[in-house]
Amino acid sequence: MTILSKQFFLLCLSIPLIGCAVNAADLQSYDHPTEIVSVPPGARIEIDSEYVGITPLTTMIPRRYQSEWQGLIGGGQRITYVAPVRITAYPVAPGQYTQFKIIGVSDPTPHRIFFDMRLGPIPQRQEIKQDIRVDTAR
């Protein structure tokens, strides 16, 4: 394998990681309190399947940082990743629906999260078949 093909191979391996890395200076945008509210109030909140309280509440959303070395021996850098988080709101009364929000890998932690417990599931698209005949004899 030539030096050029080795460099191309290493570049192809690193492309999927682009966009997921977090600069250490940007980590403060992930660590701050978040207000979680719902309409109506009283929804049971879980963050990554762990109970945290009932709305309205203010809490820290734990962001898991993963760090690894990327690059060749003698050269490279340490890359820090922020794992996604799932926030789930459970209903407290009939006619309400479970809601969830996902904070993605590159998303900063929001300052406020809102759940409308009255929003139901989106209905499935129904196919409507019509028999249309065009009279071309005029």
Please confirm whether the linkage preceding 40 is cis (ω < 30° from 0): yes
Q: Give the mean pLDDT of the chain.
A: 75
Domains in the chain: boundaries: 20-116
Residue 102 has pLDDT above 50, yes or no: yes
| Residue percentage of the chain with pLDDT more than 90 | 38
Please confirm whether the linkage preceding 56 is cis (ω < 30° from 0): yes
Phi, psi of 13 (to 5 degrees): -70, -30
- As a whole number, mean pLDDT of residues 3-23 equals 45
Q: What is the pTM of this model?
A: 0.60
At 9 the pLDDT is: 45
- What digits encode the pLDDT tens for the residues 42-89? 999 999 999 999 999 999 988 776 666 666 666 666 666 677 899 999
Q: Are 89 and 118 in contact (CB under 8 A)?
A: no
At 30 the pLDDT is: 66
Q: Are 117 and 40 in contact (CB under 8 A)?
A: yes
Residue 41 confidence class, pLDDT cut points 50, 70, 90: very high
At 83 the pLDDT is: 78
Gap between the Cα atoms of 49 and 40, Å rounded = 22
At 107 the pLDDT is: 84
Q: Which of 39-43, 74-78, 120-124 has the highest mean pLDDT?
A: 39-43
Q: Are 63 and 82 in contact (CB under 8 A)?
A: yes
